[in-house]
Structure 1
Amino acid sequence: MTSTAPPRPRSGAGYREVLANPEFRGLTVAQITSECGDQLARVALAALVLDRSGSPFYAALAFAVGYFPAVLGSALLGPFADRLPRKQLLLGCDLARAVVIAALAALAVAGTPLWLLFALLLLAETFTAPFEAARAATLPDVLTDPRHYLTGSALARILFQVNQVVGLAIAGVLVTVLSPRGALIVDAVTFFISFLVVQRTLRHRDAVTHASRLSGLWRDVRDGGRIVFRDRVRRSLVLLGWGVTPFLIAPEAVALAHAHARGHSDAVGTLLMASIPTGTAVGALLLSRLPAPRQVAAILPMAALACVPLLLTPFAAPPAALLPLWFVAGALQGFIVPVIATFNLVTPDTHRGRANGLAAAGFSVGMGSSFLLAGLLAELTTPLVAVGIAGLCGLVALAALRAVWPTAALKEAAATYAD
């Protein structure tokens, strides 16, 4: 009698394998150029506001304004990713952002009121939401093998974190060497580069939803809510992104203020900010090497462990102690990779743009609110105490979500795209 061992779960495809796809390679280059550029405007405005006001809250507000436009942009403009050809939407958003950021650079001179600069940044960020919804909805069309998509999605998330780190480093140098205006000019150029790359590499695909007019956008938003919240798996993944993840980025909101409070330069502040996305890039890279079922099973444990370094933050004031602590917190946030990948794989292609738009809108509310609340707590207490409070809130939100977490359904979904 012979026994048959159970089949071993297949690991994901390699990064070289997915990068051999020219369309995915083009989307990746466009992602790198645009995401690195995004950091330039935010850091430039935050440093400028902090120098003028000395307020941690107003410095955090400079970052928060980059998130709130995505609420309207994701919920209302995200459905365009289903109604319009996605390549055309990507191109239009890149061109609009290039023009607006160029105008922002032209006006970034002495005497220009800050509210006007913030308004232009708000306008530019509004186009980021439909761009990201279209890019996320396009990835499964470009990488049709589920294993390839999982690997490509992981790589996109890793690059998002790496781009934050690189963007922060470049921003710190350019703001110092060229001035905030020079950094904004470079930012505008990155969007033109992204436009050219998408134009050259991405194949045209017809819109997945045909409509003769766009008056039904509100109906599309309602459809997005129904698609997300009537399905237990999609609902749980979105609630994790909305209710827990925003607390984990509190260190980024107060890093500059903490550096200033201890007499350090903006470069030290941006280095502290970069420790979280650096860790997340490493964590996502390591997690992506695991088979899909193990990635999905690790989501909740990693989310809980990510809160622990934040709880320890008030006891580690020197930057030399905060850097490794926040790096570990970031590494444990690598759980977001299987969250995003699973959400897209269990969402029908005809509704993927709407679902991604709604998910991104709620996530933007959470991220923007986190920056504001962390900045306010830092003003009332200290920056490090604010981070500790955020870690505690994250654990409380996670405990509530754990009671309704669809473990069996997620395990089944992971097994499906692992085959």
Structure 2
Amino acid sequence: MAGFGGVLRVREFRALWLAEALSVCGDQIARVALALVVFDRTSSAALTALTYALTFVPAVLGGVLLSGLADRYPRRAVIVTTDLLRGLLAAAMAVPGLPLWLLWTLIGVLTLAAAPFKAAQLALLPDVLPGALFQAGMGLRQITTQAVQVAGFGLGGVLVTATGPAVALLGNAVTFLASAAVVVVFVRPRPAARATRASGPPAKAGPVLVAVYAFAAMIGFLVVPEGLAAPYASAAGVGSAGVGILMAADPVGSVLGGWWAARTASRPRAAPRSVAVPAALAGLPLLAGPLLPGPWWAAGFWAVSGGLSTVYLIRLQAAVVDLIPDDRRGTVMGRLSTCLYSSQGVAIVGAGLLAEQVGPEVAIAVSGSLATVTALTAAAVWRSTTRQEALAPAA
């Protein structure tokens, strides 16, 4: 059984873990600073929202178009290059009086560059953490990311108040440069994955990938409670403190799920059941919402859903490592991350529109049912494909 102690003894993992934490913290600080810069100069809520959206939306395009760089070039070099580029772009944003169109361009390019960084990092982790250590490392990474995101927003607010937005943006640039330095010093270079491609016919993972991406996309249904926490709290008659508790339920569950996934990590041949069971169960606590006696029960059920969703996502990424050849791992991992990312925004918008018609409680229950149906369908596709491959030699 692997645990956090085992992965923290791996020097290269510690470097990649620290590099990502620095980058995520810097991103959160920058989001606070950029929102304040634009609102201070324009007094426009719409333009401020546009600026915030530009720190997310281009990552979808980057994930589709640029993830393949993590297979074509050495992954350590991709991580370092993208960090240096993002550091320079973040520093340029700190220039006083920068025209807004240029500021938005810099934000968009910086966000695009995050895609190959993420793809290279996710593809490199299985080499650094072989076997069961990979799932344990992903669990620790999930917990750290949740904590750093919250801390980054808090630190960003304090830093901007104390020093001004320009210094905060320079601080973001420093986190990227520090991340690159850590990787250069502590992660050893490896050749590009495609340069070491094994001879022979490529593995056929196409039908399985349909199921993999379906499992990734269904996370959007499972984060709907976080997006509808405010209207749910209002309908339940609880105040702003209640909204905070409800919004924190999924992240708290995610932390516990990351811990559990690390404690139970194993790496047999990827099986759909190990992913499908927690994935299907994750939707049921949301489906039970209308039957619960009050919002505090709902918070507990949402936390259970968040924990189960984290367990299945970590196992899903371990399954991808087993199923996908190394020379395609970066592309698939990067696009998987993009699928996770974009599905959340789409599902929350759709659930918000539905909540306007039927109420947030019912909208959340519908999301839970769709998540369970998606999980069962994806599992059936995966299982059917696995069975056909097992029978193929006898045909």
Classify the TM-score, shorter chain: 0.7 to 0.9
Distance (whole Å) between structure 2 residues aligned to residue 107 and residue 313 of structure 1: 49
Residue 178 of structure 2 is aligned with which of 178, 184, 193? 193
Counterpart pick for 2:116 among 126, 130, 139:
130
Whether the 8 Å CA contact 1:32–1:159 is kept in 2: the answer is yes
State the distance in 1 between where 2:146 and 2:385 align: 30
* 2:253 aligned residue (279, 282, 293): 279
Supply the distance in 1 between the matched residues of 2:156 and 2:233 (Cα, whole angstroms): 16
Q: 2:211 aligns with which of 236, 248, 258?
A: 236
Select the residue among 373, 379, 383 that pairs with 2:350.
373
Q: Does 99-108 or 388-397 show the bigger shift?
A: 99-108
Q: CA deviation at 1:208?
A: 2.3
Q: Is the 8 A contact 1:101 1:184 kept in 2?
A: yes
Structure 2 CA distance for aligned equivalents of residues 185 and 319 of structure 1: 42
Counterparts in 2 of 1:106 and 1:199: CA distance versus 1, 3 Å: same
Q: Which residue of 2 aligns with 1:146?
A: 131
**1:313 to partner: Cα distance:** 5.2
* Deviation of the 1:30 alpha carbon: 0.7
2-structure distance, mates of 1:116, 1:255: 35
Aligned counterpart in structure 1 of residue 278 of structure 2, from 281, 302, 324: 302
Q: Is the 8 A contact 1:241 1:363 kept in 2?
A: yes
| 1:416 aligned partner | none
Stretches of structure 2 lacking an aligned partner (at least 5 in a row): 197-201, 391-395
**Aligned counterparts of 1:327 and 1:305: Cα–Cα separation in 2:** 13
Q: How does 1:22-33 map to 2 (within 5 A)?
A: 22-33=11-22
The answer on 1:83 being equivalent to 2:69 is no
Q: In the aligned structure 2, how far is the partner of 1:105 from the partner of 1:38?
A: 14
What is the letter of the counterpart of residue 247 of structure 1?
F
Matched residues, number: 376
* 1:217 corresponding residue in structure 2: none
Contact 2:86 2:173 in 1 (8 A): yes
**Paired residue for 1:327?**
303
Q: In structure 2, what is the Cα distance between the partners aligned to 1:319 and 1:46?
A: 32
What displacement does 1:159 show? 2.7
Matched residue SS, 1:155: helix
User: What is the Cα deviation at residue 348 of structure 1?
Assistant: 1.4
CA distance in 1, matches of 2:32, 2:367: 22
Match of 1:197, as an amino acid? V
CA separation of 1:373/1:94 partners in 2, compared to 1, >3 Å: closer, same or farther? farther
Q: How does 1:344-363 map to 2 (within 5 A)?
A: 344-363=321-340
| Partner-residue secondary structure (3-state), 1:209 | helix
Counterparts in 2 of 1:10-409, with a 5 A limit? 11=1, 13-42=2-31, 65-106=54-95, 120-143=106-129, 145-171=130-156, 184-210=169-195, 230-232=206-208, 234-242=209-217, 244-255=218-229, 272-292=246-266, 297-312=273-288, 323-334=299-310, 335-377=312-354, 386-406=363-383, 409=386
Deviations 1:316-344 (A, max 9, x none): 89875654343222112122111111112
Comparing 342-351 with 174-183, greater Cα deviation is found at 174-183
Find the aligned partners of 2:354 and 2:29 in 1 and give their Cα distance.
26
- RMSD of aligned Cα (Å): 4.3
Shift of 1:64: 5.6
- Compute the displacement of 1:303 (Å): 1.9
Deviation at 1:24, TM superposition (A): 1.2
| 2:276–2:376 contact (8 Å) kept in structure 1 | no
Q: Given the superposition, is the C-alpha separation of residues 100 and 247 from structure 1 closer, same or farther in structure 2, using an over 3 Å criterion?
A: farther
Taking the aligned partners of 2:350 and 2:193, their CA distance within structure 1 comes to 39
Question: Deviation per CA, 1:48-97, whole angstroms, max 9, x where unpaired?
Answer: 88xx7889xx96x7766544322321222111111112112101111222
Sort the Cα spacing of 1:375 and 1:407 in 2 relative to 1 into closer, same or farther, 3 A: same
Question: Cα offset for 1:239?
Answer: 1.9
> 2: distance between equivalents of 1:380 and 1:117?
38
SS of equivalent residue, structure 2 residue 263? coil
Deviations along 1:1-58, one digit per CA (max 9) or x if unpaired, are xxxxxxxxxx2x3322222221111011111111233334456677988xx7889xx9
Alignment partners' CA distance in 1, 2:320 and 2:313: 11
Question: 2:136 touches 2:261 (CA, 8 Å); kept in 1?
Answer: no
Task: Measure the CA separation in 1 of the matches of 2:276 and 2:125.
Answer: 25
Secondary structure, counterpart of 2:12 in structure 1: helix
* 1:324-369, Cα deviation, whole Å (9 max, x unpaired): 3432221121221111111123221122112223323333332332
Cα distance between partner residues in 2 of 1:166 and 1:317:
33
Is contact 1:64–1:368 with CA below 8 Å preserved after alignment?
no
Q: Secondary structure at the match of 1:130?
A: helix
Residue identity matched to 1:236: A
Output the CA distance in 2 between the equivalents of 1:249 and 1:328: 12
User: In 2, are the aligned partners of 1:64 and 1:372 still within 8 Å (CA)?
Assistant: no
